[in-house]
Amino acid sequence: MPAGRQANGNTESVDNYLKAILMLGGREERRVTIKALSEELRVAPASVTNMLQKLAAAAAPLVEYERHGGVQLSPAGKRRALEIVRHHRLIETFLYEVLDYPIDEVHAEAERLEHFISERFEERIAAKLGNPRIDPHGHSIPTIEGEMAARESMLLADVVLDGKFVIDSVSDRDAENLRLIEACGITPGARLRVKNARDGYSVSVGRSSKAVHLPREVARDVRVVRLGK
């Protein structure tokens, strides 16, 4: 995947904007509002607007920005965003599988490293790991060509009807929640029996008959796929 770096000041900050737009836009690549970006990046709306104007006005624009109309990634911006996501998820996988980092520590470490590794280093990591398609959290790793597999899943917090599910992925954004999720045995690929409760969910993992309680705020960090009856 080509590096696609731009002379837009702080490359790390630019990368974070591009990743946030990619994530918030979703698979449908919806236009993202200033408010949503401001909340995601924890940056003042005026600063967000200023950055987007710069990215849109660059010689090779990374975003398509309209005042009051939100923002989308340009083709070049999307390529760079997917490259950074690939870096991040490969680094997480390397830290977890090769260096034995705890699952709740790999995200923060990858956040620091993702902007700076060379393409050669990326290729060596991927080859060492056997070119994995998902990271330790169950998230798809973009290919070197910039393609990322679509995955159909739902938040556990959106489950209304009791039933059986397979865990698709867990969020890496809250280390405390992630530690609780891991302690419950909730990992990508595991099966889950779910009962809705007023203050959360009662879940049993795998063949265990023991039920554990997950508060709704933790259930928002787990994505699942419902299994047939």
Distance between CA 163 and CA 194 in Å, rounded? 5
Task: Extract the residue ranges of the chain whose pLDDT is less than 50.
Answer: 1-9
Tens of pLDDT along 178-220? 999 999 999 999 999 999 887 899 999 998 888 999 999 999 9
Distance between CA 175 and CA 181 in Å, rounded? 10
pLDDT at 188 (0 to 100): 94
Tell which CATH classification among 2.170.150.70, 2.60.40.3620, 3.20.20.150, 2.30.30.90 matches the domain 154-226: 2.30.30.90
Q: Do 1-150 and 154-226 come out as alike in CATH topology?
A: no
Distance between CA 128 and CA 122 in Å, rounded? 10
**Helices in 75-215 by DSSP H: which ranges?**
75-97, 106-113, 119-129, 175-183
DSSP letter, residue 158: G
pTM of the model: 0.87
Q: CATH 2.60.120.330: does it fit domain 1-150?
A: no
Write down the domain spans for the chain. 1-150, 154-226
CA gyration radius for the chain? 19
**Helices in 26-118 by DSSP H: which ranges?**
34-41, 45-57, 75-97, 106-113
Answer left, alpha or beta for residue 118, where phi above 0 means left and psi between -120 and 50 means alpha. beta
